[in-house]
Amino acid sequence: MLRANAWHHRSDALSSVVVLIGVGGALIGFTYMDAAAAIIVGVMVAKIGWDLGYQAIQELIDTGLEPEMIEEIREKVLEVKEVQSLHMLRTRRMGGHALADVHIQVHPRISVSEGHQIAETVRHIMVKEFEELTDVMVHIDPEDDEAGPTTAGLPLRSRFHDELKQAWKDCASADQIKRYNLHYLNGRIELEIILPVDLLDTPERSSAIKEELTQASRKLGFIGKVRIYYS
């Protein structure tokens, strides 16, 4: 609104100069200058109106930022060493400001809190470095979900636990499991099993436990890699 009002006053000043020249020319005998001045003023008003209206329409339909700025944002995000790659960088204008959301890929086995910290760091950098950006949503990906198989439909821990318990029912070492971690990668669930170090008395026993738990877990068709750790 302020920009439109400023152009209103600017066009008044410019058109007054044009009209002065046109009227002056007509008074000294160049009558066609009056018509030329009218045409010039009309074109000026139309041009200013078009520019302001077009910009307003672009804001209403959530037009994104310029490609050059988007590339600058991409480069700035990739300067964070913990960010392996990024995709789905989308921006949209909202009045005089802009919003953005981006998917960043990080190491798939970091903790939830570390992933959250990386996302917060990226968000802070984007808001600080680019004045137009007022809000940024950062989505953490453990892998490129545009290229690889989807993990949609795989069970969450609450349902998966019962299925896993049933698969382990005949495993003698299952009762010794302290905890397990799930990694949803490459369209499957990778399983990390943590056992007490007391079971690590001989290499033969360790190998037998790993084989037993691995084979039992893979009865579930969506299980990928199985890793055994002792703590």
* Token pair 């959530």: residue: 62
The pLDDT score that the predictor gives to residue 200 is 78
* Token pair 């209103």: residue: 8
Comparing CA positions, the residue from 48, 59, 39 lying closest to residue 5 is 48
Comparing CA positions, the residue from 108, 79, 98, 81 lying closest to residue 137 is 98
62 — pLDDT class (breaks 50, 70, 90): low
The mean of the pLDDT values for the chain is: 88
Is residue 198 in a domain? yes
4 — pLDDT class (breaks 50, 70, 90): confident
Give the alpha-carbon dihedral of 74, 77, 78, 82, to 10 degrees: -150
Query: What CATH number does the domain containing 213 carry?
Result: 3.30.70.1350
pLDDT(1) > 80:
no
* Alpha helical stretches, state H, 130-156: none
Is residue 107 in a domain? yes
Same domain, 136 and 164: no
The pTM of this model reads: 0.70
pLDDT(3) > 80:
no
Same domain, 76 and 105: yes
Comparing CA positions, the residue from 39, 136, 140, 156 lying closest to residue 82 is 140
Euclidean distance between CA atoms 188 and 191, whole angstroms: 10
Same domain, 169 and 221: yes
Number of domains comprising the chain = 3
pLDDT average, residue stretch 106-124: 95
Is residue 9 in a domain? yes
Is residue 149 in a domain? no
Structural domain including 10 reads 2-60
Same domain, 172 and 220: yes
Say which residue, 155 or 15, is predicted with more confidence: 155
Is residue 147 in a domain? no
Is residue 53 in a domain? yes
Is residue 151 in a domain? no
Best-predicted range by mean pLDDT (12-26, 57-71, 120-134): 120-134
Is residue 214 in a domain? yes
